[in-house]
């Protein structure tokens, strides 16, 4: 197994509040790692530390073996290797679907418009949104917007995709299409880190599941370990609440 991202002794505080307490995780190439846990346990903060939307208080984040927190590390370049999909889509509402998927490729990756369009269309087709290139976000359902957001992120050719509760803002009838899209991506061998409340999905697609509680990794294992044979009382209590 090749480690893509290695997180060593990561801590993050907001003022007096220590939100992440000595987190150690490795994300391996091609693996689907799911993070579950109660609201406030630090899941989003962990994802935001991985892509450095938040600066860790201490610890190391190694990307392909190099610590990205050292002074001279090329952070803008590092961020282009990570895709992030949020609960709230964050599409550009003034741009149509195709332009949403093209703009980052042109401005950040310096691709030509032609090449960027070709890549955008391939990815929109992958998420079943190929017919909507000219639509504006306002014309789309929540599920369609989220699939466009995924296509936009994929168009940057990230090494790792981070998803922070990608279906939590959706009407229940839209959840399935987004989960199916993510499942299809997982099957292509994409490296994915997914924070989710969808336990059936987590059980189905994950190679590994992490249960977070109050800023620590309380338990980690295969879906079978976590969902069928949880060892820790707090994992059992959490699952009893959500399943």
Instruction: Confirm or reject binding of residue 19 to ligand ADP (CB under 6 A).
Output: yes
Instruction: Confirm or reject binding of residue 41 to ligand ADP (CB under 6 A).
Output: yes
Min dist CB 220 to ligand ADP, Å, is: 16
Instruction: Confirm or reject binding of residue 45 to ligand ADP (CB under 6 A).
Output: yes
Instruction: Confirm or reject binding of residue 39 to ligand ADP (CB under 6 A).
Output: yes
Q: Which CB, 165 or 177, lies closer to Mg ion?
A: 165
Instruction: Confirm or reject binding of residue 167 to Mg ion (CB under 5 A).
Output: no
Instruction: Confirm or reject binding of residue 53 to ligand ADP (CB under 6 A).
Output: no
DSSP letter for each residue of the chain: --EEEEEEEEEEEETTEEEEEEEEEEEETT-EEEEEE-TTSSHHHHHHHHTTSS--SEEEEEETTEETTSTT--HHHHHHTEEEE-TT----TTS-HHHHHHHHHHHTS---HHHHHHHHHHHHHHTT-GGGTT--GGGS-HHHHHHHHHHHHHTT--SEEEEESTTTTS-HHHHHHHHHHHHHHHHTT-EEEEE-S-HHHHHHH-SEEEEEETTEEEEEE-HIIIIIS--SHHHHHHHHHH-
Instruction: Confirm or reject binding of residue 44 to Mg ion (CB under 5 A).
Output: yes
Min dist CB 110 to Mg ion, Å, is: 33
Min dist CB 188 to Mg ion, Å, is: 26
Q: Choose the binding region for ligand ADP from 38-46, 129-137, 149-157, 179-187 (rule: CB under 6 A).
A: 38-46
| Contact (CB, 8 A) for 108 and 158 | no
| Contact (CB, 8 A) for 177 and 143 | yes
Instruction: Confirm or reject binding of residue 44 to ligand ADP (CB under 6 A).
Output: yes
Min dist CB 17 to ligand ADP, Å, is: 6
Instruction: Report the 10 Å Cβ neighbour count for 17.
Output: 8
Which position among 10, 42, 117, 196 is part of the footprint of ligand ADP (CB under 6 A)?
A: 42
Min dist CB 87 to ligand ADP, Å, is: 10
Which position among 14, 93, 131, 173 is part of the footprint of ligand ADP (CB under 6 A)?
A: 14
Instruction: Confirm or reject binding of residue 167 to ligand ADP (CB under 6 A).
Output: no
Contacting residues toward ligand ADP, per CB under 6 A: 14, 19, 37, 39-45
């Amino acid at each position: 197994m090749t480690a893509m991202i290695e997180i060593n002794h990561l801590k993050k505080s907001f003022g007096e509040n220590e939100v992440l307490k000595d987190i150690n995780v490795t994300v391996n190439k091609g693996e689907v790692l799911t993070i579950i846990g109660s609201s406030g346990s630090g899941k989003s903060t962990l994802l935001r530390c991985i892509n450095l939307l938040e600066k860790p208080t201490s610890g190391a984040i190694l990307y392909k073996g190099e610590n990205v927190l050292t002074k001279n590390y090329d952070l803008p370049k590092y961020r282009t290797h990570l895709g992030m999909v949020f609960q709230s889509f964050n599409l550009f509402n003034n741009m149509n679907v195709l332009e949403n998927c093209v703009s980052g490729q042109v401005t950040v990756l310096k691709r030509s418009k032609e090449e960027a369009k070709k890549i955008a269309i391939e990815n929109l087709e992958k998420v079943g949104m190929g017919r909507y290139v000219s639509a504006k976000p306002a014309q789309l359902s929540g599920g369609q917007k989220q699939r466009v957001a995924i296509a936009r992120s994929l168009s940057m050719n990230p090494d790792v995709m981070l998803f922070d509760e990608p279906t939590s803002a959706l009407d229940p009838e839209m959840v399935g299409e987004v989960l199916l899209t993510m499942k299809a991506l997982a099957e292509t061998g994409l490296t994915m880190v997914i924070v989710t409340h969808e336990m059936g999905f987590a059980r189905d697609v994950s190679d590994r599941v992490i249960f977070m509680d109050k800023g620590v990794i309380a338990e980690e294992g295969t879906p079978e370990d976590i969902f069928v044979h949880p060892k820790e009382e707090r994992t059992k209590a959490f699952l009893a609440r959500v399943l």
